[in-house]
Chains A and B, each alone.
Chain A
Amino acid sequence: MVDCENAGLYKKNIQTSFYFTNDECVTYCGLSGDIHLIEGSNARFLNILSMQPMSYLEIVSYFADEYDCEIDPNLHDHVKSMIDHYQKLSLLEVIGSKNS
């Protein structure tokens, strides 16, 4: 899993197209040609991310609001896993790094 906390900003992968409708997002990866259907809070997150890059902590904060929960290790694990998954699907990419 990537070191999310020390990464820079996350943004929509330039190779990827999103189609948003209500609480859903259909994603298209230009590299693989794959499409995916993403629903609910994750779709809303991608919608926000498609408009502005977000740091890891901003993403965690977003999901804490979405799930109406405390920021705890479980939430960190959930967000890290989601970021890792979406990076593997080429939906997200990182620009810069926290240390750069």
Chain B
Amino acid sequence: MKVAEISLPKLSKQLHSKEGFRFRLGAFTIALISSIDKVVEHLHFAYADFEPLPKTELVDFHVSLTSPAIRRCYRPQVVFSFDDHIPFLPLPLSQASAMFEWGLNWCIANNAHHFLILHAAVVEKNGRALILPGSPGSGKSTLCAALACQGWRLLSDEMALLSLADGLIYPVPRPVSLKNQSIQIIREFAPDADFGRIVTDTAKGDIAHLRPPRASVLSQSETAEPAFLVFPHYRSEGESELKMLSKGLAFMTLAKNAFNFNILGREGFDTMAHLIDRVECFDFSYPSLASALAGIDGLVR
């Protein structure tokens, strides 16, 4: 049974229940409670290939999205809570699906400290994972979406989970969050790609979620061996340029892109050193999606 096979009314009923709707997301189990139609639709569409879990399943993250009754008529809002803790200010109700994704990012980044968590997209092909760390605007999610549309396995568009225990990358193949111009770029690049509805006027602009490829969801329990670490930089002019990066400099740059490097202390340092030892490191500037894909293709051949 997949989420897509559950009717919307039945999914809505499960989301309404006090146990919530439970599903596995990579190494985690999630229980989601919500009575918001947009959340039901988002789950049904973007998590279509995920399998529901029984209500007895132990849960890592209990999250809920609710709409306060007092604001239902005038500028309705959505509130995200995790274990009854409300970490963010409410957002407009129209942004409920985006808030679910941001909230889940927050839950993982702040709690999953058995991983070194890198702010990076990760895809995998032929058993070799490509890690694309990057700050907003670097184009990592756009690149990640394009690579996933080309048959790379999507592990994550937002965070690379590097296990402290075995040094492998654990997938969290969630919807790829695309912003502003990136939405149209990927629509043109992959006309068959499955997008959810566009959420407008968020703090990050317009956002659309690309449904993760079915094959990536079905293999969400399969870890990947890191092979390449590529720091992407979008620039509007010039030629694409792939430069080898010294491992020392790659280490320093990657540490700045880790959510919990300081929390993990020496263990985080050792895990990152182990990662850097095993990967080839590059700095990659590119002016267009086509040139970026050609560069990455050349790299992995």
Contact = CB atoms under 8 A, between A and B. Distances in A.
Contact of A33 (B246, B252, B262): B262
Interface residues of A, number: 13
Please classify the interface of chain A as helix (H, G, I), strand (E, B), loop, or mixed, using the class held by over half of its residues. strand
Interface in A23-81: 24-26, 28, 30, 33, 35, 37, 39
Contacts, number: 40
A99 interface: no
A21 interface: yes
Contacts of A30: 265-266
Contacts of B265: 30, 33
Interface in B221-277: 246-249, 251-252, 255, 262, 265-266, 269-270, 273, 276-277
A87 interface: no
Contact of A28 (B266, B276, B277): B266
Contact of B276 (A21, A33, A39): A21
A24 B269 contact: no
Contacts of B248: 21-22, 24-26, 37, 39
Contacts of A33: 262, 265
Given A35-B269, A37-B252, A21 B247 contact: yes
Contacts of B247: 21-22, 24
A13 interface: no
28 contacts: A17-B266, A17-B269, A17-B270, A19-B251, A19-B269, A19-B276, A21-B247, A21-B248, A21-B251, A21-B276, A22-B246, A22-B247, A22-B248, A24-B246, A24-B248, A25-B248, A26-B248, A26-B251, A26-B252, A28-B266, A28-B269, A30-B266, A33-B265, A35-B251, A35-B255, A35-B269, A37-B249, A37-B251
Interface of A: 17, 19, 21-22, 24-26, 28, 30, 33, 35, 37, 39
> Nearest 3 CB-CB pairs, A to B?
A24-B248, A19-B273, A21-B247
